């Protein structure tokens, strides 16, 4: 029995350096190992593959292997820029810009009756229920202008309110907003615009409302969220805002901010305008919510509270809400 115990002690003693040596070699071989996701040829499922390159060639083999992988999911900005670039390859193609939607039912709590008095068909009062729609497009005129990272773009946004439920139907307001700007994607998370924009309702006379602005738009985003800040200053005031609405900046301010994010294929966005500048007394907030229906068509709901629901209402406070469908939102 004593002999057996001595034999086992000797055996364990001899095994210790062997196991340490094996562990050392195994550790040396696996210290550069890593797991990656890759689709194998002819298969749709993504599998984890363990890669253990030799240490002396680790960086070279890593670069070669990573270059063969499909691209990972990018940020919201990357997706938008890539989509715009793909569209730019097609002559005369355009892409959606700001939210584009149709709201067959939109309710305004406090219509601006005074401004429309005597200016509606058959002198009707403005109905609270109406049809609201917005379309917004962007077209890249010059991609990488002068061999720089800058793109030259034009955009057009149109917002309309149609008194569809009135006795005599009419468009009570349509705002036209063309813009020209340059854009630059600083990184996968940042995108910037700088340009000029004109907005008017084209009514003429006492109902004319318009202003011109020099603006910047700064976007920052992750994979499921986006923040946009748009400051501006008024320009060419004598030919636009001073003629028809000299106090427009008092109500619509000098900036707007958009915060948007997605969750479970749904999207929620908040627009704030002139809130802090006015001490939360003359600002506006708009909340949009959408969920997929089919392909790119989405069920869309909107809530608005504040000044400037439309351009002619820039100095009128109201609340509004509606539902319908959209083709895109901020993300």
For residue 281, the domain's CATH number is 2.40.230.10
Domain that holds residue 59: 32-70
Distance CA 227, CA 293 (A): 25
| Mean pLDDT taken over the chain | 83
> Is the separation of the CB atoms in 144 and 184 below 8 Å?
no
Cβ neighbours of residue 132 closer than 8 Å, sequence gap 6 or more = 102, 103, 106, 159, 160, 161, 162, 302, 322, 324
Say if residue 62 is in the same domain as residue 137.
no
- Predicted local confidence at residue 238, as pLDDT: 84
**3-class DSSP state of 94:** coil
- What Å distances lie between residue 20 and 58, 274, 296, 311, CA to CA? 25, 69, 60, 79
Which of 198, 250, 278, 305 is the catalytic position?
A: 198
Name the least confident of 90-104, 167-181, 197-211.
Answer: 90-104
Say if residue 25 is in the same domain as residue 40.
no
Identify the CA nearest to 310 among candidates 145, 179, 167, 172: 172
- Predicted local confidence at residue 243, as pLDDT: 85
Name the least confident of 77-86, 222-231, 274-283.
Answer: 77-86
Identify the CA nearest to 96 among candidates 64, 59, 55, 138: 138
- Predicted local confidence at residue 27, as pLDDT: 47
Which of 17, 52, 70 is where one domain is finished? Answer: 70
> Is the separation of the CB atoms in 298 and 325 below 8 Å?
yes
* CB burial string 115-135: b at 16+ within 10 A, e below: bbeeebeeeeebbeebbbbbb
Radius of gyration (Cα) for the chain, nearest Å? 30
Say if residue 65 is in the same domain as residue 105.
no
pLDDT grade, residue 188 (50/70/90)? confident
Q: Any idea what the Cα angle at residue 244 is, between residues 240 and 245, rounded to 5°?
A: 95
Instruction: Give the pTM.
Output: 0.74
- Is the pLDDT confidence value at 83 over 60? yes
Say if residue 135 is in the same domain as residue 25.
no
Name the least confident of 77-81, 82-86, 114-118.
Answer: 82-86
Say if residue 100 is in the same domain as residue 182.
yes
Distance CA 93, CA 70 (A): 27
Which of 54, 70, 86 is where one domain is finished? Answer: 70
Say if residue 227 is in the same domain as residue 96.
yes
For the segment 260-275, the average pLDDT, to the nearest whole number, is 94
Q: Does the annotation mark 200 as catalytic?
A: yes
* Residue 179 CB neighbour total at 10 angstroms: 20
Which of 183, 200, 241, 310 is the catalytic position?
A: 200
Write the pLDDT tens digit of every residue in 234-250.
998 887 888 889 999 99
- Predicted local confidence at residue 4, as pLDDT: 41
Which of 51, 70, 89 is where one domain is finished? Answer: 70
Q: Give me 232's structure tokens.
A: 């501006």
Say if residue 6 is in the same domain as residue 101.
no
Q: What is the DSSP letter of 201?
A: -
Say if residue 277 is in the same domain as residue 293.
yes
- Predicted local confidence at residue 89, as pLDDT: 59
Say if residue 2 is in the same domain as residue 19.
yes
For the segment 290-305, the average pLDDT, to the nearest whole number, is 96
| Count of domains for the chain | 3
Say if residue 8 is in the same domain as residue 105.
no
Place of tokens 């406090």: 110
Say if residue 193 is in the same domain as residue 310.
yes
For the segment 136-149, the average pLDDT, to the nearest whole number, is 91
Say if residue 288 is in the same domain as residue 150.
yes
Q: Any idea what the Cα angle at residue 111 is, between residues 134 and 169, rounded to 5°?
A: 65
H helical segments located in 31-112: 58-67, 76-88
Q: Does the annotation mark 198 as catalytic?
A: yes
For the segment 210-216, the average pLDDT, to the nearest whole number, is 97
Identify the CA nearest to 319 among candidates 292, 272, 284: 284
């Amino acid at each position: 029995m004593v002999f057996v115990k001595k034999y086992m002690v000797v055996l364990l003693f001899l095994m210790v350096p062997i196991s340490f040596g094996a562990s050392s070699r195994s550790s040396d071989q696996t210290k550069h190992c890593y797991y990656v996701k890759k689709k194998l040829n002819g298969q749709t499922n993504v599998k984890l593959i363990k890669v253990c390159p030799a240490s002396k060639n680790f960086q070279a083999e890593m670069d070669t292997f990573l270059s063969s992988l499909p691209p990972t999911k990018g940020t919201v900005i990357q997706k938008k820029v890539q989509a715009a670039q793909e569209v730019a390859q097609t002559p005369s193609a355009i892409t959606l810009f700001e939210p584009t939607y149709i709201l067959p039912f939109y309710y305004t709590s406090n219509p601006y009756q005074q401004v429309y008095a005597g200016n509606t068909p058959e002198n009707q009062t403005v109905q609270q229920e109406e049809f609201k729609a917005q379309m917004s497009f962007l077209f890249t005129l010059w991609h990488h202008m002068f061999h720089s990272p800058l793109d030259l773009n034009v955009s057009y946004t149109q917002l309309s309110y149609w008194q569809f439920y009135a006795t005599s139907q009419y468009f009570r307001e349509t705002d036209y907003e063309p813009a020209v700007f340059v854009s630059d994607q600083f990184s996968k998370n940042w995108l910037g615009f700088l340009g000029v924009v004109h907005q008017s309702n084209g009514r003429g006379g006492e109902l004319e409302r318009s202003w011109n602005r020099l603006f910047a738009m700064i976007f920052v985003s992750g994979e499921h969220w986006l923040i946009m800040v748009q400051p501006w200053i008024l320009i060419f005031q004598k030919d636009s805002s001073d003629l028809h609405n000299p106090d427009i900046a008092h109500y619509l301010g000098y900036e707007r901010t958009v915060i948007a994010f997605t969750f479970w294929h749904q999207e929620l966005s908040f627009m704030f305008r002139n809130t802090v500048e006015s001490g939360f007394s003359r600002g506006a907030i708009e909340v949009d919510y959408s969920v997929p229906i089919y392909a790119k068509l989405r069920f869309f709901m909107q809530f608005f509270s504040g000044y400037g629901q439309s351009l002619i209402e820039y100095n009128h406070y109201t609340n509004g809400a509606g539902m319908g469908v959209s083709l895109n939102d901020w993300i």
